Amino acid sequence: MTAAVSKPQRWVFIGDSITDTGRREDPEGYGDGYVSRIREQLLVDDPAYPVEFVNRGVSGDTVRELRQRWQSDVTALKPDLLSVKIGVNDVWRSFDGAPNQAVNAEEYRATLRGLLGEASILECRLVLVTPFLVEVDKADPMRSEVETRARIVGELADEFGAVLVALQPAFDAAVDASTPQRWAPDRVHPSGPGHLLIAREWLKAVRAADPD
């Protein structure tokens, strides 16, 4: 797919701050994160690449907020490809003093499954990106909860026939060779190299699943 798109398409990327990256302050609306890096790489490969990139990340979102804006930010846009990355805020709220805003694993699964069911009616290609935490301690409680959400994303990718972009192994490998601060100074929000790593993994997964 990424190697050969023969007609104009619209690709929508939805999620939280890791997708948002200041896209509303960006005159072009892409933000300064992995969405821009994916777009730039594809344009370098093919300057006439016929894809409209739409960033619909909103900082702070959990699946609850995604559900509230799904109609306007996904359904109404009629994407040919939909990339969803959500989950770290669902966990983080339990650790940053707002437990009432946290989303437990069961609600996370049910809400995300419902949204993906709605997306499947659009007959768009689905790409599911797992949440991650740049934390070397694998016994860390927040990391454990994030990994639970990542497993749910993997299960839903199988259920809906979506491309799965698994980010925790990629960040773990990067941290093993350097330091966590190089990739996400606060464990959650990627640095410039961190966003480039996400873009690399996204493109690798989508290209591997490309039937062409």
pLDDT tens profile 17-58: 999 999 999 999 999 999 999 999 999 999 999 999 999 999
Beta-bridge partners for 53: 11
Confidence of residue 6 (pLDDT cuts 50, 70, 90): low
| Distance between CA atoms of residues 20 and 23, nearest Å | 6
pLDDT > 70 in the chain, percent:
96
Is residue 193 predicted with pLDDT exceeding 90?
yes
Residue 3 has pLDDT above 50, yes or no: no
In 3-state terms, what secondary structure has residue 176?
Answer: helix
Whole-angstrom distance, CA of residue 204 vs CA of residue 151: 20
Query: Which residues, 6+ apart, have CB-to-CB distance to 137 below 8 Å?
Result: 143
Q: How far is residue 11's CA from residue 21's CA, in Å, rounded to a whole number?
A: 17
**Which listed CATH number (3.40.50.1110, 3.30.420.40, 3.30.479.10, 1.20.1250.20) goes with 9-208?**
3.40.50.1110
* 210 pLDDT above the threshold of 90: no
Please report, to the nearest 10 degrees, the dihedral formed by the alpha carbons of residues 83, 103, 195, 120 taken in order: 0
Q: Would you name the residues annotated as active-site residues? A: 17, 186, 189
Mean pLDDT of 157-161: 98
In whole numbers, what is the pLDDT of the chain averaged over residues? 95
Alpha-carbon span 134 to 152, nearest angstrom: 19
Tell me, what's the pLDDT at 211?
64
Q: What is the pLDDT of residues 65-118, one digit of tens each?
A: 999 999 999 999 999 999 999 999 999 998 988 888 999 999 999 999 999 999
Strand partners, 56: 14
pLDDT at 187: 95
Report residue 1's pLDDT band, with 50, 70 and 90 as the boundaries.
Answer: very low
Binned at pLDDT 50, 70 and 90, residue 202 comes out as very high
Instruction: Determine how many CB atoms are found less than 10 A away from the CB of residue 75.
Output: 14
Q: What is the rounded radius of gyration, in angstroms, for the C-alpha atoms of the chain? A: 16
Which of 15-19, 134-138, 162-166 has the lowest average pLDDT? 134-138
Domain ranges of the chain: 9-208
